[in-house]
A = this chain, B = another copy of it.
């Protein structure tokens, strides 16, 4: 049997820290048409080692040193797990997601690289192992192994992550039609710094209220209880310290809520803001009104409106040849 010489995979945009679910909830935006994600192609080369052939991106400054590129690091992790460290790989990356945007760009590249490399090598790593490899890429970008973007990028849907068992994300129900308006203002925030400003302790009352809201979020998805969902989409943990870096956040949220959104908040570590909506019509309206606020305060912003990816509709292997 001939081994493949080339494999290409894609992974889409994700939202981490879903408002009431700091570090424990993540969700994937529909990327079935590959219009909102990263694509990574991995090609075999005769001489050992990993090289980054090219990064196609509207952002400059994405490292092409494989040790400093999340796709390179994730591919390296697959080689190590597959006992194939003598293999030679060349990686080409098409970045559909912005750098440091809060849209899970580093996770998407890491996941796509892990999947493509696994296919190229015929190494049959499990999903759990691929997740661990992708988390090494994520760690390079963010300084932590938090899987709230990697897990939904890999698995699709809405996932609940127990920090103590983080490679076994728990799929939650995705109400039919539930959609997001995600707006990415042209501000650069560094995820590592945004982690550094988080509080190390919170009050017992804050913790209790947040835990009740995260638990109620799960309940509301099972019951498609929109009234409850509206009440629980509150972030007591990350937003109070991070909002100072995202001008217009309160006004943007207010515009989203007035347009019928269930809730809105910072996506990941920001600066992107997302509004969670019960259907795509609400998401379209919320998105337009969110974008108008950024125009009013003279901040350029890209808007994306997508359904939430269904459970299982995560990263895709696009081609193996």
Contacts and interface: CB of A to CB of B under 8 A. Distances in A.
B204 A198 contact: yes
Interface in A63-101: none
Contacts of A25: 215
Copies of this protein chain in the complex: 2
A3 interface: no
- Most B CB contacts (10 A, CB to CB) among A160, A208, A222, A237 go to A208
A308 to B, nearest CB: 17
A289 B165 CA distance: 30
Contacts of A203: 200-201
Interface string A205-226: 1111111111111110010000
Interface residues of A, number: 40
Given A170-B228, A200-B204, A203-B201, A209 B163 contact: yes
Interface stretch (A16-24, A29-37, A44-52): A16-24
A161 B216 CA distance: 9
Chain A interface, >50% SS class: helix
Contacts of A161: 212
A199 interface: yes
A172 interface: yes
A305 to B, nearest CB: 27
B202 A170 contact: no
Interface in A7-23: 21-23
Given A162-B232, A212-B24, A232-B162, A207 B217 contact: no
B204 A202 contact: yes
Contacts of A231: 162, 164-165
The 3 tightest CB contacts between A and B, nearest first, are A207-B207, A211-B211, A24-B212
Interface of A: 21-25, 160-165, 170, 172, 198-219, 222, 228, 231-232, 237
Given A163-B208, A164-B212, A210-B211, 4 more contacts: A201-B203, A202-B202, A211-B211, A211-B214
24 contacts: A22-B208, A23-B208, A24-B208, A24-B211, A24-B212, A162-B209, A162-B212, A163-B205, A163-B208, A164-B212, A170-B219, A172-B219, A198-B204, A199-B204, A200-B203, A200-B204, A202-B202, A202-B207, A204-B237, A207-B207, A210-B211, A212-B214, A214-B214, A218-B219
